[in-house]
Structures are given as structure tokens and as C-alpha cells.
């Protein structure tokens, strides 16, 4: 029996996230930040994201990556285009942007900057055991991740309950090699391509 449509998954997951208590969220965000600090070697580049709304993670995750000695790039969004990037220099440098996001001021790097990343942390509503990611449907990461290095560690960041057996998949979807969850830590996904190429 095929999995439910993406719209059903999105509604189900967003409802569960809205019902999450503030205390549980703080515990999960702390756990994610602790693991994130170990994901990439000092001196490397990590492409991450600025969590907003009910997305897993917090500014503490970005700060942990910075304190571990990595250069952290976060997305700059333009409708219909691949993600551009800007360097994360602390929460005080973030400004309100389109789509309810927050983005750094300062120099903007082209989409191809993701090719320099050792690790790419990707926000997701869910990811399955094969590496199929469910996003919000805007397609930003589908237009961007093909620019990443073949050896980059591509990680979907989700809550424990959002790592599932099977999600619906479209031909343009780019699979993740790993999942990062608060309780399970870093979990390898799939059996081919990126999942087999690199172990953090």
C-alpha cells in the first residue's frame, strides 16, 4: 500500500509540531546542538539553516557549529531560484526576510558556494529510511543540492518521530544520506550514493 500523499504528511507533522511543549522543544534543541558540534572538522564549511517557527533546532545549533571552528553558511532565498548563501556571524546579524525567514546581512555568496561544504544540514518535515525528504513544497533545496560536492554529508534535521519508514517520492527529489534527530543522533539512510560515500 503506498504512503499517504505529501499534503497529508505535511498536515500531520505540522499539527504535531504545533502541539509540542516548550519544555520538550528546549530539550530537543539542546540535543541537536550538542551533536551538531561534532559533525564537521574545524576549518571546514557547513551549510546550515536558521530555524524558524516549529522547525527542529535553534540558534544554539548554529552557535555550536561556529564554536567548533567551522564556517557556517545559511540560506538567502529568492523566489524560483536555488539558494544563495551568507555567512552566519551570530544571531544579532540576522534580519527579517521573505517567507518568514531570517537571513544575515552582508556579503551574499552564489548558489555554487554549497560545493565547498563538508556538511549540509537540511530542514525537513520528515525523512524516510531510504533518504527521501519531505519539505514544505517550495523546492529550494531540490534546486540547490545537486550543486553540493558528491562527497558532502547531506543531513536532514528532524524530530525522532519524523524519521519514518516510507514517504512519497517525486522524480526531482534529492535523497539525504543521513538524518539528525534529538534522540537518535546521526542516522545513516539508504544504501547507495551519498549514504555510502562518506562517514562523518
Extract the annotated binding site for ATP. Answer: 6-10, 133-141
Annotation: binding site for substrate: 50, 55
DSSP string for the chain: -PPPPHHHHHHHHHHHHHT--HHHHHHHHHHHHHHHTTSS-TT-EEE-----TT-S--HHHHHHHHHTT-EEEEEE--TTS--EEEE---GGGEEE-GGG-EEE-S--B-GGGGGGEEEEEEE-SEEETT--EE--SS-TTTTTGGGS-TT-EEEEE--GGGEES-----TTPPPPSEEEETTTEEEE--SSTHHHH---
User: Which residues are known binding-site members?
Assistant: 6-10, 50, 55, 133-141
| Interior/surface letters 45-63, b for 16+ CB within 10 angstroms, e for the rest | bbbbbbbeebbbbbbbbbb
Amino acid at each position: 500500500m503506498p504512503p499517504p500523499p505529501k499534503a497529508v504528511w505535511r498536515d500531520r507533522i505540522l499539527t504535531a509540531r504545533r502541539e509540542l511543549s516548550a519544555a520538550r522543544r528546549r530539550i530537543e534543541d539542546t540535543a541537536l546542538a550538542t551533536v551538531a558540534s561534532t559533525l564537521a572538522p574545524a576549518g571546514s564549511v557547513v551549510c546550515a539553516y536558521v530555524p524558524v517557527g516549529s522547525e527542529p533546532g535553534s540558534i544554539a545549533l548554529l552557535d555550536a557549529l561556529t564554536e567548533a571552528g567551522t564556517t557556517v553558511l545559511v540560506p538567502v532565498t529568492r523566489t524560483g531560484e536555488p539558494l544563495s548563501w551568507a555567512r552566519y556571524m551570530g544571531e544579532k546579524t540576522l534580519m527579517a526576510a521573505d517567507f518568514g525567514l531570517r537571513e544575515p546581512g552582508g556579503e551574499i555568496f552564489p548558489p555554487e558556494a554549497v560545493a565547498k561544504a563538508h556538511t549540509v544540514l537540511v530542514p525537513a518535515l520528515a525523512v524516510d529510511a531510504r533518504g527521501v525528504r519531505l519539505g514544505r513544497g517550495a523546492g529550494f533545496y531540490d534546486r540547490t543540492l545537486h550543486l553540493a560536492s558528491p562527497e558532502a554529508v547531506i543531513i536532514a534535521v528532524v524530530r525522532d518521530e519524523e524519521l519514518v519508514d516510507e514517504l512519497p517520492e517525486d522524480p526531482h527529489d534529492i535523497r539525504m544520506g543521513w538524518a539528525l534527530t534529538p534522540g537518535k543522533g546521526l542516522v545513516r539512510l539508504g544504501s547507495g550514493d551519498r549514504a555510502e560515500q562518506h562517514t562523518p
